[in-house]
């Protein structure tokens, strides 16, 4: 089968899909959406004329001329019914015990197309967004890709989302979460702060004010140790991490990046935070 991967970046998941499909004998091409206007993207697809377009990692809108003429399937990192660009962020912030990945047809409305396949998985407590994406999300995405390729080859069609069982209750359209949504309030319990940092892992990062400077914090672990210090005060250091007092417990932070007009490099917290 001639398959075109349409992606916003040739990230790890896109590479995994590309390698797997090639190993299975498919003719696989890749087009990166940021390199195209809608018109040039349509022209590129027209030149390739694929049997199937797969979008394993796509933040851009598929041109209408493309999805109306070629079978185009979006791999969305959320269960059936979930819609929006911050799916994993919401799942981790909301402490969802179960999540999923859904393959659906591209249509005018984002993440609203009929469903080709969906797989769910348990969400480990305390996992970061990057770790979840690169493990259970990626594995479920590969299951979706395999199901889509099999169904397209057999001439099957997708089902409307409302006819597909919802393995995760309460899903719906959720808004984009930008960096301010993850801002830390040091008066909160350490466990809550660690969860916010885990949900913002990679991007956009969880901002926090430390000694009148703003940092993005990563790789946090909460402990039950209460020092009695003012929340936000540094109460410990080791060779790489820095510990902070919180409203309840202590928060150890492994990595940080100074946040000024742009985010600085992510480095061991003890190297970056000089308060």
pLDDT digits (tens, 9 = 90+) for 121-153: 999 999 999 999 999 999 999 999 999 999 999
Per-residue confidence at 89, pLDDT binned at 50, 70, 90? very high
Has residue 169 got a pLDDT over 90? no
Which regions of 64-110 does DSSP assign to beta strands (E)?
A: 72-76, 98-105
Which positions ≥6 away from 76 have C-beta within 8 Å? 82, 87, 101, 102, 103, 104, 111
Per-residue confidence at 161, pLDDT binned at 50, 70, 90? confident
Q: Catalogue the long-range contacts made by 230-235 (C-beta closer than 8 Å, 24 or more residues apart).
A: 231/186, 231/187, 232/186, 232/208, 234/210, 234/273, 234/275
Report the Cα–Cα distance between both ends of the chain, in Å, rounded. 58
Q: Which residue has the higher pLDDT, 127 or 171?
A: 127
Q: What is the pLDDT of residue 102?
A: 98
Q: Which tokens in the block code for residue 217?
A: 């914090």
Q: What is the pLDDT of residue 275?
A: 66
Mean pLDDT of 94-119: 94
Residue with tokens 């430390």, as numbered in its chain: 210
Cβ proximity of 8 and 32 under 8 Å: yes
Helix 138-154 / helix 12-23 crossing angle, nearest 10 deg? 40
Which positions ≥6 away from 28 have C-beta within 8 Å? 3, 4, 5, 18, 21, 22
Mean pLDDT of 113-117: 97
Instruction: Give the fold, CATH level 3, of 2-163.
Output: Rossmann fold (3.40.50)
Q: What is the percent of the chain where pLDDT is above 90?
A: 85
Cβ proximity of 254 and 241 under 8 Å: yes
- Measure the CA–CA gap between 186 and 208, rounded to whole angstroms: 8
Q: What is the pLDDT of residue 6?
A: 96
Closest CA to 101 of 76, 65, 67, 131: 76
Q: For 179-272, which CATH superfamily applies?
A: Formyl transferase, C-terminal domain (3.10.25.10)
Q: What is the pLDDT of residues 211-225, one digit of tens each?
A: 999 999 999 999 999
Mean pLDDT of 239-252: 96
Has residue 202 got a pLDDT over 90? no
Has residue 62 got a pLDDT over 70? yes
DSSP 263: B
- Measure the CA–CA gap between 158 and 48, rounded to whole angstroms: 24
Whole-structure pTM value? 0.89
Q: Which residue has the higher pLDDT, 35 or 61?
A: 61
Mean pLDDT of 258-269: 91
Cβ proximity of 1 and 26 under 8 Å: yes
- Mean pLDDT estimate for the chain: 94
Q: What is the percent of the chain where pLDDT is above 70?
A: 100
- Measure the CA–CA gap between 246 and 145, rounded to whole angstroms: 44
Residues of the chain with CATH 3.10.25.10: 179-272
Mean pLDDT of 164-184: 88
């Amino acid at each position: 089968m001639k398959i075109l991967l349409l992606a916003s970046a040739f990230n790890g998941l896109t590479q995994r899909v590309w390698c797997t499909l090639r190993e299975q004998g498919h003719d696989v091409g890749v087009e990166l959406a940021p390199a195209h206007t809608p018109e040039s993207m349509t022209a590129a697809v027209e030149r390739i004329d694929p049997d199937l377009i797969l979008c394993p990692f796509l933040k851009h809108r598929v041109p209408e001329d493309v999805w109306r003429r070629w079978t185009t399937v979006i791999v969305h990192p959320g269960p059936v019914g979930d819609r929006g660009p911050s799916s994993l962020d919401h799942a981790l912030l909301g402490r969802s015990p179960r999540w999923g990945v859904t393959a659906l047809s591209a249509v005018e409305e984002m993440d609203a197309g009929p469903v080709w396949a969906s797989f769910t998985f348990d969400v480990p407590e305390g996992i970061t967004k990057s770790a979840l994406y690169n493990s259970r999300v990626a594995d479920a995405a590969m299951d979706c890709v395999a199901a889509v390729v099999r169904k397209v080859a057999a001439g099957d069609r997708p089902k409307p989302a409302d006819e597909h069982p919802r393995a995760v209750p309460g899903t719906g359209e959720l808004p984009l979460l930008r960096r301010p949504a993850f801002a830390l309030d040091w008066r909160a319990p350490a466990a809550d702060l660690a969860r916010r940092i885990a949900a913002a892992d990679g991007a956009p990062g969880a901002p926090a004010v430390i000694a009148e400077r703003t940092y993005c914090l990563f790789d946090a672990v909460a402990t039950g140790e209460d020092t009695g210090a003012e929340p936000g005060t540094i109460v410990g250091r080791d060779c790489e991490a820095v510990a902070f007092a919180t409203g309840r417990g202590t928060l150890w932070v492994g990595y940080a990046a100074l946040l000024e007009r742009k985010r600085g490099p992510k480095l061991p917290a003890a190297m970056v935070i000089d308060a």
